[in-house]
Structure 1
Amino acid sequence: MNLNYPAEWKEQKTIWLAFPHNEMNWGGELREKIIAFYYELIGICSRFQPVNVLVQPDFILPAEQKKKFDNAPFKIRWIPIETDDIWIRDYGPFFVYSQHKTSKIINFQFNAWGAKFPPWNHDEQVPKEIALRKRLALKTFPYIFEGGAIEVNDDGLGLTTLPCLVGENRNPTSELKHVEMALKEAFGLRDLLVLPEGLIGDHTDGHIDNAVRFVSNERIAMAWEEDQNKPNFKPMLRNKVILETWLKRHYGEKAHVDTVQIPTQKVIDGEILPASYMNFIFLNGALVYPKYEEKFDNLAEAYFKSVFPDREIIGIDATTVIRQGGSLHCISKQES
């Protein structure tokens, strides 16, 4: 079966989100902040395209907020499907197309990033639930893999990182070639580059969406650290050399690898928070990037405006969601 996974800058039918409810991660002082963040994000997305939000069966949207959303330019649907947490990028369905342009859903095994953050029993059922509701064929691959670990362009090229493919509580190292073959089949890839690592401190084992993103077929943006004394300097330098060689092999002089300085890396309870401007999302006619209320935000905004002069560039404060290690791309899933 020849499958195609459209690049994220292509026209989208809708964007999928999962509303926060997990008291262990989003309780106490974070509860009001994360809910306000989601209302803001949903409002932004609904200016450009329909929005589907997964909610717990007992969810009730406050009347004041409902009134605001009822007047949104595009429809917001609240869909009762149980989840364990908000990271729908990783456990949610991949919407792909067959050679006959028929929409299908594919999914992989999900175990919360190598069994680090239980429970995940509801999250892993989400692709099946959505496939049933949308009456779409579902193809499941027998390997552990997350949505934030893959990045594709519209020309059959893909990017991922080695620690997200094999390792403890993931796929056995001996299965690496089989995992790579499955990814090529699932996303319709003619070439897959496996980088040695992602950002330091990334709980996901180094998802590609925090480190490197395609901004066009021949152009890549990557997280960068200018300070040679910081832990991310050497890994990102190594990634840059590999990416430049690989992309040039495919596109020659058209190839570009851009660097975007990462935010000042904050530490909570001894752990580095993997804040990155690469965790942006495409919408129809817009790009939304995470802000961290610090000095490098303006540089990121200027970069996105230079690359996408025809898109509205919108920044949103992601300092709450990064507290649990993720950002905008991690909490969303596009359906093209």
Structure 2
Amino acid sequence: MSASVHPTRRSGFTPLAKSAIRRGVSSAAPTTTSTFGARDLAVVVMMNLLWGLNIVAVKEAVVLVPPITAGMLRQLIVLLVCASALRVVPGKMVPLFALGVLSGGLFYVFINLSLAVSDNVGALAIAGQLGVPFSLLLAIAVLRERIHAPRVIGILLAFAGVGLLVFDPAAAREGLGLALTAASSLVWAICSLIQRRLVGVPVLTIYAWIGLLGTLALAAASWWFEPGAIARLPRTPIAALLPIAFSGIGSTVLGHGSMMWLLQRHPVSTVTPLTLAAPVVSVAAASYWFGTLLTWPMVAGGAVAMLGVAIVTIRTAAKGERRA
């Protein structure tokens, strides 16, 4: 899960990401279909690598900088990148404020704290996939969306896969981290519903508000829960800020900007399943970087959870295409 943003000015971003932003697309914008070629594949690979490696960057960041303060710095980067698009959108300010506080603030409190208190980062990457079934369950409860057997099975598999982690002693010890990750997934799911009310709002504007409100919310939380952390930032080594910069620019701006570029060229049902490689990259990267062992319960749990998420994702994307 990443939580997340879209590009801007001239700062070395790929032409792909910038073209998507220049159009001011939204996640619900209509798509045009073209042949899926080598350039599209390269963007998919880059996007999944950026999102997959982000969990390593965030874990390193919260080791070097207090977790809430690290989240504030990430959102500040997002704000600086997207500031030129910050503007009042008549009739959309309530959902924009709600999204900014939740997606830009509360989500990062949960996810950064979960990484700060945990050693088994791969287990958190698996638990983070609960955002997809949570999102569908909220759509059923709030929007009265009707689902059929395949997506019900997908939801059950996703939860069962995460449940299998309790059979891995190393993962089972991460109870607090897993609970915080599940909470962040629920916040992400709520935000996915709010985003449905922002159809037509330029992506840059959405993330400018997320950056602004997230920075303010996390600065207040840092001041309250991490006294002195902001005051110590000028003495923080530059190397400690690099993982935060990677998260803000790489995962959020470039990663999501590339996603929007793909959605402008191909149907949602084609693009969305291509994001399923990111959590696999996360688990593998975390295992390699932090030296955590991939046990059979963890591999089995991850496989079952990803199967469930894949079913929900693919069926939901196909359903959206049929409606369009």
TM more than 0.5? no
TM-score, normalised with respect to structure 2: 0.28
Structure with the greater relative contact order (CA < 8 A, sep ≥ 6): 1 or 2?
2
How does the TM-score come out when normalised to structure 1? 0.27
